[in-house]
Amino acid sequence: MAPLFFDHLVIKTEIIELINQKPEPENQKGKALQLIDDIIYQGIIDHILEKLDTKHHETFLTQVHERPYDPELISYLKEHIGPDIEEDLRLAANKMVKQILKDLS
């Protein structure tokens, strides 16, 4: 998956290591990692939409669709949700990563 505006908040090292240790073919490992990226992406977007006032959903989703890599999206969220949104997203991502690790084990 291409870089995303929140990638710096998600630490997937343990997941990557766990998948790479599996005796599966490389293409299957790649598919598993892509699926995990999709799950985390969807989880982060859902988390943001829960926090973001409904009147800002369309604007935010349009910006994510057009520029998913743009770090200015964090600025937008800070302005419309609050200055602690990065820490909030980091905690949400950590929770997702722990659940994925649990599910993979």
Examine the pLDDT at 57 and tell me if it is beyond 90.
yes
pLDDT at 1: 59
* pLDDT value for 80: 98
Dist CA 12 CA 21 (whole Å): 14
Confidence tier at 100 by pLDDT (50, 70, 90): very high
Band the pLDDT of 21: cuts 50, 70, 90.
very high
Hey, CA dihedral for 95, 71, 15, 105, is it positive or negative? positive
3-state secondary structure the chain: CCCCCCHHHCCCHHHHHHHHHCCCCHHHHHHHHHHHHHHHHHHHHHHHHHHCCHHHHHHHHHHHHHCCCCCHHHHHHHHHCCCCHHHHHHHHHHHHHHHHHHHHC
Average pLDDT over residues 51-76: 97
Q: What is the mean pLDDT of residues 53-80?
A: 97
Q: Tokens standing for 101? A: 């690790």
Please state the domain extents for the chain.
7-104
At residue 105, the pLDDT reads: 85
C-alpha closest to that of 103 among 32, 52, 44, 49: 32
